[in-house]
C-alpha cells in the first residue's frame, strides 16, 4: 500500500489502514479528513463518507468486494465524485434527509431520526455541525462509533464537540452529544472513529474506550 503523507507534520500514516478486523480508514476527499470502509459479508460493504477518489483506491475497493452502501455523515463529506462512486459500484447512498438535496439526480435512502443499515449497524441523527449530521454505531467488536464531524479528537485520547466556522448550530450540537450519550448508555462502546483530526489518533488510528468521556461529557461541557 502506498505511503501517503499526513498534512500535519511528523505524522506519516498508511492509508487504507486496517484499524480493526474488517475496518479500514481511508484518506478523505477534503484536506485532513478521514473516510472508512466496513467490510461486510456478501459484498455489502459500507463506505463511510467520500474518500479521495483515485484509481488505486478504486482497485483496492474492488479487491475488498466493492461497496454496497455509501453512508454520508455530514454535508462536507459529500465529494464531487459521489456520482462516480455510485455508478461504479451501483451502491445505495444513505444520508439524513435534510441534506439529501445536496445530491440531486441520484438514488438515495434518506432517513430521519435513525436508520438501520444492517441489524448491527445503525445511524443516528446528530444535528449541529450541519443540519443533517449523523453518527454510525456498529454493535460489533465491543461497539464502534463513527462520528464524522460531530465528535472529534481534541488531544491525544480525548474527544469532544468542536465549535467551528462551519458549525450550523452550536446549541443543537451540544444537545445532540447528550442525546447520543443517552442512546448509547445501554450499549457497548469500545472505539470511536472520527472524520477528522487524525493527528491525535496515534498509531492505532482511533480512540480507544471513549465511553467514560462521553458518559461524563455533560459535567465537562
What is the average per-residue pLDDT within 61-72?
96
Residue 24's φ and ψ, nearest 5 degrees, are: -125, 140
Neighbours of 208 (CB within 10 A): 12
Whole-angstrom Cα Rg for the chain:
16
What cell numbers appear for 153 in the block? 479528537
If you count them, how many residues does the chain have? 221
Predicted local confidence at residue 9, as pLDDT: 36
Going along the chain from its start, the domains and CATH numbers come out as 3-220 (3.60.15.10)
Q: Kindly tell me if the per-residue pLDDT of 3 is higher than 80.
A: no
pLDDT, tens digit, 9 for 90 and up, residues 176-207: 999 999 999 999 999 999 999 988 998 889 99
| Alpha helix ranges (H) inside the chain | 55-63, 82-89, 170-183, 211-215, 217-220
Predicted local confidence at residue 216, as pLDDT: 84
Neighbours of 187 (CB within 10 A): 12
Predicted local confidence at residue 218, as pLDDT: 66
Neighbours of 136 (CB within 10 A): 24
If DSSP codes are grouped into helix, strand and coil, which group holds residue 152? strand
What cell numbers appear for 183 in the block? 442512546
Q: Kindly tell me if the per-residue pLDDT of 98 is higher than 80.
A: yes
Q: Kindly tell me if the per-residue pLDDT of 38 is higher than 70.
A: yes
Would the pTM of this model clear 0.95, i.e. be above it?
A: no
Closest listed residue to residue 102, CA positions, set 72, 134, 122, 69:
72
What cell numbers appear for 8 in the block? 500535519
Rounded CA separation 198/196 (Å): 5
Comparing 15-19, 115-119, 154-158, which segment has the lowest mean pLDDT?
15-19
Predicted local confidence at residue 7, as pLDDT: 35
Amino acid at each position: 500500500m502506498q505511503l501517503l503523507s499526513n498534512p500535519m507534520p511528523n505524522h506519516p500514516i498508511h492509508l487504507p489502514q486496517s484499524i480493526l478486523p474488517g475496518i479500514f480508514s481511508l484518506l478523505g476527499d477534503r484536506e485532513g479528513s478521514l473516510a472508512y470502509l466496513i467490510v461486510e459479508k456478501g459484498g455489502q460493504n459500507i463506505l463511510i463518507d467520500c474518500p479521495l477518489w483515485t484509481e488505486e483506491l478504486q482497485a483496492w475497493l474492488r479487491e475488498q468486494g466493492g461497496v454496497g452502501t455509501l453512508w454520508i455523515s455530514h454535508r462536507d463529506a459529500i465529494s464531487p465524485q459521489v456520482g462516480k462512486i455510485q455508478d461504479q459500484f451501483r451502491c445505495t447512498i444513505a444520508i439524513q434527509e435534510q441534506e439529501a438535496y445536496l445530491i440531486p439526480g441520484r438514488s438515495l435512502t434518506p432517513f430521519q431520526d435513525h436508520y438501520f443499515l444492517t441489524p448491527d449497524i445503525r445511524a443516528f441523527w446528530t444535528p449541529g455541525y450541519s443540519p443533517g449530521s449523523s453518527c454510525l454505531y456498529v454493535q460489533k467488536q465491543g461497539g464502534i462509533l463513527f462520528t464524522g464531524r460531530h465528535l472529534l479528537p481534541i488531544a491525544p485520547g480525548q474527544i469532544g464537540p468542536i465549535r467551528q466556522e462551519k458549525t450550523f448550530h452550536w446549541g443543537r450540537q451540544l444537545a445532540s452529544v447528550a442525546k447520543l450519550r443517552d442512546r448509547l448508555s445501554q450499549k457497548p462502546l469500545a472505539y470511536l472513529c472520527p472524520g477528522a483530526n487524525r493527528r491525535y489518533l496515534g498509531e492505532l488510528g482511533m480512540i480507544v474506550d471513549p465511553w467514560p468521556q462521553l458518559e461524563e461529557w455533560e459535567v465537562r461541557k
